Structure 1
Amino acid sequence: MFTKKVYNNNIVMAVDENDNEVILAGKGVAYGLKKGDVIDRSKVEKRFELKKDTSPRFGELIQDIPLDYVIISEEIIAYIKANSDKKINDSIYITLTDHIVNSIERIKMGIDFDMTLLLNVKTLYKEEFKLALHAVDMLRDYFKIPLSDDEANFITLHIVNSQFEDNMMEMYTITSILEKITSIVKNRFNIDIENNYNYDRFMTHCRFFVQRVINQEHFEQNSALNYTLLEATKDQLPKQMDCVNEIVEYVEKNYGYVTSDDEKMYLLFHLGRLTDQ
């Protein structure tokens, strides 16, 4: 491998044997190197093969970050990728690494962060929250600091954000809408959300529904058929249909999104399974 750009003594962008750009991290791996020099592979501790639009930005980010932050962040992201059944976008290397650095430095300075607005994250994104809790454990072990489980809330959002390729501001908006939908359902029905497969299915569908709301993308699969099914089903599930209508009215009033009959049918279907006693 040959040197393409030196970020600091521990970080270098290289060109591998397949002519691909990679970022390499390791103690002293780039010391004394200049463009075109051969890299000592024995000094490489971590290798990052990222998309071309992500790799330079990641390199710029980590050039001012201590090597130990880079190493633990890569290990956490590798764990998340290995244990998630969803595609994780390369953007997580930038967003989560930056967040980890800021969080650890904040905690070392004794600065607390108000997590009140994120308390429902663990119920909205159950699988991602489990991964985030493990990430918190890894950070505790690595830095030997008393890191609160609350930190998993933010890490969860970064994981979800990397699945949808949104920006974090959109992720907060999506989470806010999901919280409102959850509130509407809970106000109308007495449901147990813990270890509830139907709740998890409902929330998964709602996540994609809200994604379409934010992007103003309308879901249409078989409108004529679903209109007929909707008309037949809403009389059998009047309370659930009222709940769907409240959700639909909320997103239309606040986000200008007109929900199709297809979407209403799927919301009603999942809500019916969730509230079937």
Structure 2
Amino acid sequence: MNLIKSFNNNVALVEDSSGTEWVILGNGVGFGKEKGAAIDEATIKKKFIAESTSNSRQPFLEMIEQIPISIFEATAEMIRTAESVMGTELNQHIFLALADHLNYAVKRTRDNVDYPHTNRWELQKLYPKEHKAAIEAIRVVYDLLDVILPKSEETFLTYHFVNAQGPSARLSETMKMTEAISRIIEMIEYHYDMQLNEESLNYLRLLTHLRYFLLRQLHGEKLEQNEMDDDLIDLIKGKYSHAYECVEKISRILKKHYEWELTLNEKVYLTLHIWRLIT
């Protein structure tokens, strides 16, 4: 590996023999070295892929320069802890995005600035391992930086850990899905004029169903209309009419806000989940 730029004695940007750029951490890795100097890999404690484009290179370098070494070290420990909690290896590209986020999160916390922590409950149930990893990451920040991040960071960090698991878990997709689930839950509660029991098994079953239902919508997949007998559909629509009315309202809202179309079979499955939850 050869040095591209030292940000301080312990953080540097390097390039390997294949042309891939890395941010490396280690005691003295950038000390007294000129551009192009060879880096002793034995001195590297942590390394993470540095993803950037030519158009964003200068802001990218400036961003790294503005992040303290303590933030980089805390970020590396957050990732290590998250991987242990989740039992999986996270994508290398998470490092700089997470470090940048943590840097501003610490600044906001010290300035007593917080954001509403919406969707936290839905995320906790939809992504329990990632949410647990987020809680542990907040503990890491407290241990290493003496900063207690606000509750809203549970949501943001959960999104980061979901997003870092590969192409099947995209951040924008996750955010859209949790927003839609929150909207659906609010509609069910309004339709029945009640607060749902978030600890119940049927609530968790509903969230699981909604998660896969919304993934199908996001990926343009639909249940075939011939999967369920017509007589059974008519029976369910009649017997559970109040739940079916709720589903029809949900269907209109999803069409209005997301341009998603529910098939008749999807409406029936959702009707059964809602009826079971309410009952």
TM-score (norm 2): 0.76
Q: 2:101 aligns with which of 99, 102, 109?
A: 99
Give the structure 1 partner of residue 180 of structure 2: 177
Which residues in structure 2 correspond to 1:181-196 (within 5 Å)? Answer: 181-187=184-190, 188=192, 191-194=196-199, 196=200
Specify the code of the residue in structure 1 equivalent to 2:170.
E
Query: Please, what is the CA RMSD of the aligned residues?
Result: 3.5
Q: Which moved more, 1:57-66 or 1:198-207?
A: 57-66
Distance (Å, rounded) in 2 between the aligned partners of 1:237 and 1:209: 20
Instruction: Classify 1:245/1:80 alpha carbon distance in 2 versus 1 (closer, same or farther; 3 Å).
Output: farther
CA 1:106–1:257: 2 relative to 1, 3 Å: same
Please list every run of 5 or more consecutive structure 1 residues that lacks an aligned counterpart in the other structure.
none
Q: CA deviation at 1:152?
A: 1.9
**CA shift at 1:142, angstroms?**
1.0
- Cα distance in 2 for partners of 1:231, 1:28 equals 72
Q: How big is the shift at 1:7?
A: 4.5
C-alpha distance in 2, partners of 1:243/1:87? 41
Give 1:121-132 correspondences, 5 Å limit. Answer: 121-126=120-125, 127=128, 128-132=130-134
Question: Could you tell me the TM-score, scaled by structure 1's length?
Answer: 0.76
Q: Distance in 2 between matches of 1:65 and 1:183?
A: 40
Q: Percent identity?
A: 25
Query: Counterpart of 2:135?
Result: 133
* In structure 1, distance between residues paired with 2:262 and 2:131: 29
Does the CA contact (< 8 Å) of 2:4 and 2:35 recur in 1?
Answer: yes
SS in structure 2 of the partner of residue 28 of structure 1: coil
Aligned-partner residue type, residue 48 of structure 2: F
Per the TM alignment, residue 29 of structure 1 is displaced from its structure 2 partner at its CA by 0.5
Deviation of residue 101 (structure 1)?
0.4
Matched, 1:151 2:153: yes
Distance 1:107 1:36 in 2: 39
Runs (5+) with no aligned partner, structure 2: none
CA distance in 2, matches of 1:94, 1:250: 37
2:44 and 2:12 mapped to 1: Cα distance? 9
Cα distance in structure 1, aligned partners of 2:93 and 2:20: 18
Provide closer, same or farther for how the CA distance between residues 113 and 45 of structure 1 changes in structure 2, counting only shifts above 3 A: same
Q: Tell me the residue number matched to 2:5.
A: 6
CA distance in 1, matches of 2:3, 2:260: 48
